[in-house]
Structure 1
Amino acid sequence: MAPMASRGTLVLRAMIRSPETIGGLVLLTALVLLALVGPSISPWAYDQKDFTALLSPPTAEHWFGTSQIGADLFAQTVRGMQKSLLIGLLVAVISTALAAVVGAFAGYFGGWADRMLMWGVDLLLVLPGFLIISILSPRLRGSGFVVLVLLLAVFGWMLTARIVRGLTVSLREREFVQAARYMGISGPRIVLRHIIPNLSSFLIIDGALNVSGAIIGEAGLSFFGFGVQPPDVSLGTVIAAGAPAAIPHPWLFVFPAGVLILIVLSVNLIGDGLRDALEGRS
């Protein structure tokens, strides 16, 4: 009799059978590789200017063309990819972890702990996160992109926390949780070692989809001047810099915006594949 395949193997097989998931993985891998090796193969640095080629279309010397001030658009797009991918990944990890801890503790302990934690979640839900980040970001210039990551994460976990709370309420009366309780294991340890691991499928899916949401959020803030600040660049700042002249010079918009669309598309395809595979094998 053949040994039973592990759950991870079953999930992997389900993902491999999905053309959309494979396409998303291939596309995201190619984009990440481009972000990593792009600076080494580009003849120009992202902060270097070529004043002899202002608003130049794509050429053999400037692969994506140049901007109004002679910046190489390929180098800036690659640098923007690095920053946007890093910010999206960090925001997704922090916000998903925060949602898992707050939602699981609220759902498991109930009572006043549940009321206080959910009151905080409801308060953050009604606050205009984009507006607050827009107000705070100019006052925190010079602090680096870490502050932007924390601000985006703080306003990106509340809905997930509510879902985690509801799932935890249904899990806390399950046999394995009751057995752990009868063995004298403390409540926080039960939450961290039994409740949250049993929600891993949902959290993995949510974290994957949060990456694309965080990238779009950062790009939007940077487009309006509230995100990544010069001299550094992200995809949002590159798109914003080229937007005024994008009609007569379309390469200023097409290349950075196209890369942004491809990143979000690939992450969403992978997230959908994870959801189908994990939920189908749950």
Structure 2
Amino acid sequence: MLDEIPVADPAAGNPEVIQSPKPVSRFRLVLSRLRSTPRFWVGIIGLGTIVLWAIFGLAPNAWNASDLDTFNMGSSPTALHWFGTSDIGEDIYAQTIVGLRKSLIIGLLVGPLAAIIAGVVGAVAGYVGGWWDKAIVWVIDLLLVLPSLFLFILLSPIFKSLSWVALIFLLAGFGWMIMARVIRAQTKSLRERDFIKAARFMGVDTWTIIRRHVLPNVSSLLIIDATLGVGGAILSETTLSFFGFGIQAPDVSLGTLLASGQSAAATRPWLFVFPAAILVFTVLSASLVGDALRDAVDPTSGVNRE
């Protein structure tokens, strides 16, 4: 609602009402920027379509991922098998949906989990300071220098005996360092603000200040990081599974489908093209949403940067 300020009008002899707008909240400002950003709508519609297809896509299909059609082994796409079949008669459409589900679950869990780790670690390093800060920065620098793919390869024998859920924690454990540095720098700036000093003066303990004052003020950065991290996590899982260090048989993911189909990409392209197209579309949609959200939250960005 708008404030009404009466102002006398000498000509009319009656006061007029001038309406002064109240300040727009940050949430509404971000929402307004997102609404006027075409790539946000392209990304959110694409990502929503992919998620709905992963949930309900098997309903109209007559085949499950484990079914074998021995009469149509290695067949091209037909009305019976929409994406064709593998060398042993597996329905590629059903396997693509099951693999997409696994990759989406990993991406949607790894992105937020890595953002949470980055937020907590960065806030503690920036606010507490001292030897805590030095130790955390040393760990961050060490993990940034180490080649993560090489470490995944070294640790893969251990994780092969575990559930694919262990891959979620492994990917999240190597995906938080850069954002933690950003949160640390923001926290160092926030700790000198008046409301933080007032909380310290009133005797509020460190963890309460971090939870109630620091993390809410950097939450926009964490939301952006989590959104962008979804696409990155899906791509990382696919890469590891493609080289045999991620999802292991009998589980199926987009990476395992690409690995099994890449040798026949030229002779039977349906084994490779359909999973690859779904992967590109999913990662691109998630990246568009994250990119639009970053520009909307960034105070230096315009309403529309197209």
TM-score, normalised to structure 2, is 0.89
Corresponding residue of 1:113 = 132
Q: 1:25 aligns with which of 25, 44, 48?
A: 44
Deviation sequence 1:157-200 (CA, Å, 0-9, x none): 11111111111111110111111111111111111111111001
1:14 to 2:22 alignment: no
List per-residue Cα deviations over 1:245-281 (Å, max 9, x = no partner).
1101111111100000001100111001101111148
* 1:121-270 alignment runs, 5 A limit: 121-270=140-289
Q: Which residue of 1 aligns with 2:104?
A: 85
Match of 1:74 in 2: 93
Distance in 2 (CA, whole Å) between partners of 1:50 and 1:134 is 35
Q: Percent identity?
A: 50
Q: TM-score, normalised by structure 1?
A: 0.96
Residue type at the aligned position of 2:112: V
Structure with the higher helix share, 1 or 2: 1
- Once the two structures are TM-superposed, the CA of residue 139 in structure 1 deviates from its matched residue by 2.6
Distance 2:154 2:91 in 1: 31
CA distance in 2, matches of 1:243, 1:54: 17
Does the residue aligned with 2:279 lie in a helix, a strand or coil? helix
1:41 to 43, 60, 79: 60
Q: In the alignment, is residue 100 of structure 1 matched against residue 119 of structure 2?
A: yes
Counterparts of 2:60 and 2:183 in 1: how far apart (Å)?
45
Distance 2:145 2:300 in 1: 36
Q: Find the residue that maps to 1:41 and give its secondary structure.
A: coil
Bigger Rg over Cα: 2
| C-alpha contact (below 8 Å) 1:137/1:148 kept by paired residues | no
- Residue 3 (structure 1) shift: 5.2
Q: Secondary structure of the equivalent of 1:40?
A: coil
SS in 2 for 1:39: coil
Q: Which moved more, 1:137-146 or 1:157-166?
A: 137-146
Counterpart mapping for 1:45-60 below 5 A: 45-60=64-79
Displacement, 1:8?
A: 1.8
* TM superposition shift of 1:137: 2.1
The Cα of 1:134 is off from its aligned counterpart by: 1.8
Counterpart-to-counterpart distance in 2, 1:14 and 1:257: 32
Q: Distance in 1 between matches of 2:161 and 2:62?
A: 29
Look up the equivalent residue of 1:91 and give its one-letter code. V
- Unaligned 5+ segments in structure 1 are none
Is the CA contact (8 Å cut-off) linking 1:18 and 1:273 kept in structure 2? yes
Offset at 1:230?
0.9
Give the superposed CA RMSD.
1.4
Unpaired stretches in structure 2, ≥5 consecutive residues: 3-20, 302-306
